[in-house]
Structure 1
Amino acid sequence: MNTMKTAMLMAALTALFGGVGYLLGGGTGMLLALGFGVVTNVFAYWNSDRLALAAHHAVEVDDRTAPELVGMVRDLAARAGLPMPRVYLIDNPQPNAFATGRNPQNAAVAATTGILRILTYDELAGVMAHELAHVKNRDTLIMTISATVAGAIASLAQFGFLFGGRGSERPNPIVMIGTALIAPLAAGVIQMAISRSREYEADRIGAEICGQPLALASALAKIAGGVSHIPNEDAERHPATAPLFIINPLSGRGVDNLFSTHPATENRIAALQALAQQMGAGAPVNGHAGRGSFTSQATTSPWNKPRQGESRQGPWG
């Protein structure tokens, strides 16, 4: 099913490339845009994960630089039956995380420094399990390709508005302005159409991997609260990457909510609460995990415990 979704996504976005090219440059523009679209799809398949990580200045970490986080991801990947992904940290105060990569063998998970500061160990395990669920479902291929291609469509529309068409093939200025505005939104709608159901499924599978649906639900509530008042400037500069994140990083900016690629957080939390009842699992109480939980550690994460005389809040500091 995901293979079909990927093929449909690539076809729809490539067709949108052609439509933008036709509006901005006539028949010649359409052919050039279609060619560019095909090249972009191929490039995105092999390199979109690197572009997404670079757009957010992600830094790869290991057992030496972030032992707690890397160890957590390793244990969760083993539980999920997945190869160990690369692990990245993003120096950003907004709490958030995402996964990327064309397949489980070439996957990466990334977490912001902000998310490490506010979540407990079990909550963060739920978030990382959610991201590994995307890897397990091979959603990351869809997400990373759509992010790269949607961004390219926006760039093409803006470039065409400034430099597109000559002589008789140059379109009406109103058409050019409309295309420059509508094309990025159309690309976003395509992303949105295939994104929302993926989040519910990743929540469900992630909760099963970590064993604590309510810990993941608690994490979603905390992340949504942080996103609502902490801007993510890199995401604002690269809005096509928004669907990659566990919570829409643009959700604090008014009109972005109209084109959110994520379901409402309260609906996701309600689904996880229902799942917790089915599983008989709960969030940790008094430092003890519920049945089927990922960990029996206390609910405060080890990187939130500063050494004496320090304000350290993470394995990177």
Structure 2
Amino acid sequence: MWELIRANKRNSIVLLVLMAACLMLLGSIIGLAFFPPSGWLFGLIIATVIWLILTAVSFSSGDQIFLAASKAKPVTHDVHPQLFNVVEEMKIAAGLPMPKVYIINDPAPNAFATGRKPETASVAVTAGLLGRLNRDELQGVIAHEISHILHRDILFVTLAGIMLGSIVLLSQVFLRGMFYSSMGSSRRYSSGGKGDGQAQLIMLIIAIVAAILAPLMAYLLYYALSRKREYLADAGAARLTRYPEGLAGALEKIANDKSPQLATVNKVTAPMYIVNPFKKKKQMKLSDLPHLCFAALFLFGFCASLAQSDVLLGQSGRGDDCLGVGYITERPGVIFKRCAVGHTAEDFYPFGNRGVSAGQA
């Protein structure tokens, strides 16, 4: 499990570096198209300035902006005691400070966590989620979000979102400037020598292509990083609750829900939610969930609900099969076989023995 966490963090850092390289390369190409031959440095500086401005805004008030944009309202224990109790249970299990709790008045079932460090973290759930899930399922969702806080996933996703926003902003400014200006006029490229004009025109075409492709590449890297963190949060939720079927049941209900799309969301904040709020309900299949398909999660939950507690915690040497690489990378049938085959009757414990009691308020 811990090796998986370390590998996931390494992969996340690699994806962040690739996004940074994409931003710097785009800035250099655009600068070179405007001011050859040394304009790449100017473009690099502009890209860096954009990134620094967005970073300053995000780190100073990004969490509050996100919560305000989501129309999340803070709640107290008196307003929703069960939600508060579940959050308290999971923060104790994770050894974290108590996060702030918010509710979004929206019928679409969903949830997210925000806060770059545990001391400033918040957990928000929609009214639709609270109305559709039982306590075990709500506990699974909250454990998933608490796991994001525990593993600093929000910091990684925030940094990736800043990179993505910088790339999109730089691309849009350049492309719109090209559309409305006379930069591409024949007079500009005929002002110098014929060879120089042709070379700059070629560089301009390359810059336009880069400005179109860079945001697409950045989106792919951004969603890849988000998905890697979701995989880890699923495993972390199973470890915190000792009852993976709760999260599995919640994901099944969310996938089959017929409510309208979440009203307050955009493409940058969408990966922060436990399921993609942009998915059309008629297209929402189990394989469309932003983390591992439900079938694999359910089989993993079935395995974990049967396995002895020392196996679940990885103390018997077989825990990695139930909480580790097998869960993340292998097909559901393979996961089930690795978890179930070879266990004797002494390896299993009663269904209800799962740490935090589901009957506690």
TM-score (norm 1): 0.77
State how many pairs are aligned.
288
1:244 has 2:272 as partner: yes
Q: Structure 1's 92 and 48: CA in aligned 2 closer, same or farther, altered over 3 A? A: same
In structure 2, give the amino acid aligned to 1:197.
K
Shift of 1:130: 0.9
Q: Secondary structure in 2 aligned to 1:251? A: coil
Partner of 1:224: 255
State the identity %: 31
CA distance, structure 2, for counterparts of residue 43 and residue 10 of structure 1: 19
Q: For the structure 1 residues 117 and 7, does the alpha-carbon distance in structure 2 shift closer, same or farther, using more than 3 Å as the test? A: same
Change (3 A) 1:215 1:253: closer
- State how 1:132-147 maps to structure 2 within 5 Å: 132-147=146-161
Alignment partner, residue 105 of structure 2: 91
Letter in 2 for 1:276: S
Is 1:213–1:272's contact at 8 Å kept on the other side of the alignment? yes
The 5-angstrom pairing of residues 24-35 of structure 1 reads 24-26=30-32, 27=40, 28-35=42-49
| Residue identity in the other structure for 2:225 | I
> Mean alpha-carbon deviation: is it higher for 82-91 or for 151-160?
151-160
Q: What is the CA-CA distance between 1:5 and the residue it aligns to?
A: 5.3
What is the RMSD computed on CA atoms of the aligned residues? 3.4
CA distance in 1: counterparts of 2:354 and 2:283, whole angstroms: 41
Moved more, 178-187 or 212-221: 178-187
Measure the CA separation in 2 of the matches of 1:52 and 1:294.
32
1:269 aligns with 2:298: yes
Q: Determine whether 1:12 maps to 2:18.
A: yes
Cα pair distance change 1:72/1:47, threshold 3 Å: same
Cα separation, 2, equivalents of 1:16 and 1:254:
35
In the alignment, is residue 296 of structure 1 matched against residue 358 of structure 2? Answer: yes
Alignment of 1:95-174 (within 5 A): 95-163=109-177, 166=183, 172=204
State the match for 1:69 in structure 2: 83
Q: Which residue of 221, 225, 228 corresponds with 1:197?
A: 228
Using a 3 Å threshold, how does the CA distance of structure 1 residues 182 and 271 change in structure 2: closer, same or farther? farther
CA 1:31–1:253 in 2, change beyond 3 Å: closer, same or farther? farther
Q: Which has the larger radius of gyration?
A: 2
CA offsets 1:97-138 (integer angstroms, 9 cap, x no match): 111211111211111111111111111011001110111111
- Equivalent of 1:183, from 214, 221, 224? 214
Letter in 2 for 1:203: D
Q: Distance in 2 between matches of 1:196 and 1:151?
A: 18
**SS of residue paired to 1:240:** coil
Say which SS state the counterpart of residue 263 (structure 1) adopts: coil
Cα distance change on mapping 1:173 and 1:279 into 2, 3 Å: farther
Cα pair distance change 1:14/1:174, threshold 3 Å: closer
Structure 2 CA distance for aligned equivalents of residues 140 and 36 of structure 1: 21
Q: Which runs of 5+ in 2 are unaligned?
A: 1-5, 33-39, 190-199, 313-350
C-alpha contact (below 8 Å) 1:98/1:110 kept by paired residues: yes
1:311 maps to none
Deviates more, 1:107-116 or 1:46-55: 46-55
Contact 2:72 2:104 in 1 (8 A): yes
CA distance in 2, matches of 1:191, 1:25: 25
Q: What is the TM-score of this pair, normalised by structure 2?
A: 0.68
Asked if the contact 2:96–2:118 (Cα under 8 Å) also holds between the matched residues in 1, the reply is yes
Cα distance in structure 1, aligned partners of 2:219 and 2:289: 9
Distance across 2 between alignment mates of 1:269 and 1:158: 43
